[in-house]
Structure formats: C-alpha cells, structure tokens
Amino acid sequence: MPGFVAGALVAHPPILLTEVGGAQSERVRATAAAMRQLDAILLTVDAPLAVVVSPHSPSSMTSLPVRRAAHAAGDLGRFRAPQVRVEAQVDVELAAALVVDGQRAGFSLIWAEETELDHGVVVPLHSLPRTMASKRFIFLGVSGWPFSRFAEFGGWLHARLGERSAILIASGDLSHRLTPDAPYGFRPAGPLFDRLVIDALRARSWEQIESLDPDLVEKAGECGLRPLAILLGAGRAANLKSQVLSYEGPFGVGYPVVAFTASASPAMVLDIQTLGRHAIDTYLRTHRLVDPPQPIPIELQSPSAVFVTLRKHGELRGCVGSVRPTEATAAHELIRYAVASAVRDPRFDPVRLDEVSALTVKVQLLDMPEPVRDIAELDPHVYGIIVRRGDRQALLLPDIDGIETPEQQVLAACQKAGIDRYAPLQLERFRTRTLT
C-alpha cells in the first residue's frame, strides 16, 4: 500500500525515560506503557520509511526545513543523559526530491541547518525501538504556516510518496499550562485545549481540531499542533483512523499517545455489568480481588481515577471511588472500587451475596482535574468538583439530582467535607467518561 500506511502523535518528554527522570518517570507510566503498545502496533506495519516531524527541529517562519545529511544523530546530553543516543540514516534521494517537488507544488521547503537531532526526535525514536529498527528516515521541522497549510502539506506528502510505504511520526506535547506549577504557568485555555483535541481524536472528528480558535491555541502554550496538522492531512488522504492510547499531564504538560492506522485495533468488548458483579461476588466469597480481563481493553489500560456506583432495583446501594489513580491501570482501579462500593460505603450495610445478581454497575472514569479560579467556570451538569480546605476535601460527581447551579454544587461539597462554605477554598473541576 503506497503512501502513509500508519502514523502516530507522540509526546516527547525526556522525563519519560528513567535515564532522565529516575523515580519521577513513574509518574508518566501510562505514557510509557502506551509507547510500548504503539511500538507493537506500528511493528505490524510493513513500511521501510519513517517521516518524523518535530517542533523542536530547525524551523523557519516561511519555509519548512528538511534535513539532508545522510547520517543524523542526537542524544539527551542536555538532560544529563548523554547515554540515551539515537542514530538514523536519512533517505537523501527522497529528501532532495521532496524539496524540489514541494517547491513546484507551492510548498516552501528548504534544507535544514545541520544540527544534532533534538529531544522531539530522540525520545520517540528511543521509545519505539522495534518500529524504528532498520528504517530510513525523513526529518522535518515546522514553520509559521497556518494550520490548514500544514494539513494540505500532509495530504500532498502522502500522494508524493508514490509507491513507497511509510509511517508518519508527529512528535509533540499538548498544552504546557495545565496546572499552576506547569512550565508556562496555568491558563484555563490549557486544559480546555487538551480536552478538545483528545476528545476530537477519540471521536475521530478531526475537523473540530482544524476549527480551533487561534486565540485558544495561543493561550494553551502547546507545541504539538503543527506536527499533528501534517498528520491529520496525511491521515485523511490515507484513510487512517485515530485511536487514543493514553493521555496524561502529571507535570502540567499534556502527553498524548495516539495511533493512526488503516483500521482501529480490534477493541475488546467489555461487559461492565458482568465484570463488576464478578469482582464483588469473588471478593465476598474469597476476600480476594479478581484480575482484569486480558487483554485489557484500550480504554482501561492507562491509570485513571474511577468512581463505581451500584444500584439495586434503581435505588443507590453504594458509591465509592478515587480522586487520583491508585492502581497501574483503570481496569485494576475499577475492580478495586467496585468491591469498595459494595462493602465500604459507610452509608450502607455491606452488599450480601444474594444481592449481587440484582446490582447494576455504573463506572465513571475521571479526567485529570483542573484548577478553578472562579465559580462561574463550574457547570454541575458537565463537571464534577473537588473542594479542599486544609486536610479536608470532598468530591462530587457531575449531574447529581437536585444540584442545578454551581453555588448548590459547592455548598453540597462543602457540607460533605465539613468545610465552611465561606472559608477560602481550593476548587478543581473534572469531566467523567461513563462505562455502563
């Protein structure tokens, strides 16, 4: 199959690698796991060529740089890990043809300044070792083109490859402004931007990314949108589909790992009702937690805070969950809190064995909380909230019966935590994704 047969949007934080982050790398374990999964997915694709676009490679305001040296290399010495080094062979003949043909097609391509490969290239290549073995490469930088121009270029590049089969790696992080301790500080536009991009990639509604407000993009402080735009243009031309493998932002920067393939990986159909009741039944009989189903479905492979709600004949029977992930995967988290909802909700007597078959199970995965500076940013039908004051805190899920306004939501959370409503509060909001 000619042109791009697969691709990926990949985060490039050096701290992903233990050689750089040490113990701190554990905080991005979901990204590391997703990169391993991506490596396995791309390994199945027959493509001798890899095109890599990095926002940290040589750039130009008006032209898009292309590396031309036959051999390229780089390491993470600036991150105190010079032993993390990659070397790559450039397809010089194709690079030269792209520059000439791109100019003819109206795309200003120029030769890149000869520098070592940047971390936006080194981290993905090092993290995808099986995929990248024995490949030849084209390395691209970025320019000041508008989003639509990058997408057009991606489509042109797919067609220009002719009979060559290639994968396209768009290296880039999302917002750098997710939290107050983020590299660029906090902006409300940061979490909003990331949510819109990830939701659009999950839904494969790429046009929502292409129509993002430029002012929102500017305030988000991202670095991955231009490489992603090339990938979206190429992906549309190649009829690829996007599949979000993971997204997290523990250091205030959004780290996406998204596979683009000709057909989405077969998704395991997960029966939440059966799994939840099986977990509870097994625990009541043996006091042991069951193992997650294998393979773990894509949507449950990354760590995630989880709330599990149990109902019996429509009446609440238990609801317990986590504010932050406590397990290696959302699947493990689901099992743990299904059991906790059955036996550790202090409002109810523990569930009995003879009740298990009558239970209905609702599972909500919590997206990463984001700070709230003004109550006007709340919507109780859309967002759950976390309220903190000193060592007291409470969480309320979204769309609770009887709570219609932000004021009611904050008051209910304060009452739940035993906090004075008019005391200085720390507020966070979050969205949920429901599995039923």
Q: What is the DSSP letter of 402?
A: T
- List, for residues 112-147, the tens digit of each pLDDT value: 999 999 999 999 999 999 999 999 999 999 999 999
- List, for residues 195-224, the tens digit of each pLDDT value: 999 999 998 999 999 999 999 999 999 999
Q: What does the mean pLDDT of the chain come to?
A: 94
Average pLDDT in the 288-304 region?
Answer: 85
Is the pLDDT reported for residue 66 higher than 80? yes
Backbone φ and ψ of 255, nearest 5°: -110, 105
Say what the pLDDT of residue 264 is. 52
- List, for residues 144-169, the tens digit of each pLDDT value: 999 999 999 999 999 999 999 999 99
Average pLDDT in the 238-242 region?
Answer: 96
Same topology, domains 3-261 and 272-366? Answer is no
Say if CB 132 and CB 50 are below 8 A apart.
yes
What is the domain partition of the chain in residue ranges? 3-261, 272-366, 370-435
The helix (run of H) or strand (run of E) holding residue 112 is none
Is the pLDDT reported for residue 368 higher than 70? yes
The superfamily CATH assigns to domain 3-261 is LigB-like (3.40.830.10)
If DSSP codes are grouped into helix, strand and coil, which group holds residue 365? strand
Domain 272-366 part of CATH 3.30.700.20: yes
Backbone φ and ψ of 344, nearest 5°: -130, 10
> What is the rounded distance in angstroms from the CA atom of residue 2 to the CA atom of residue 6?
11
- List, for residues 20-65, the tens digit of each pLDDT value: 999 999 888 889 988 998 998 999 999 999 999 999 999 999 999 9
> What is the rounded distance in angstroms from the CA atom of residue 20 to the CA atom of residue 82?
10
Fold of the CATH domain 370-435: Dna Ligase; domain 1 (3.30.1490)
pTM (2 decimals)? 0.73
> What is the rounded distance in angstroms from the CA atom of residue 88 to the CA atom of residue 67?
12
Q: Which of 308, 322, 289, 290 is nearest to 361 (CA)?
A: 308
| pLDDT tier, 351 (very low <50, low <70, confident <90, very high otherwise) | very high
- List, for residues 315-337, the tens digit of each pLDDT value: 999 999 999 899 988 999 999 99
* DSSP annotation string for 295-349: SPPGGGSS--EEEEEEEETTEEEEEEE-SS--SSSHHHHHHHHHHHHHH--TTSP
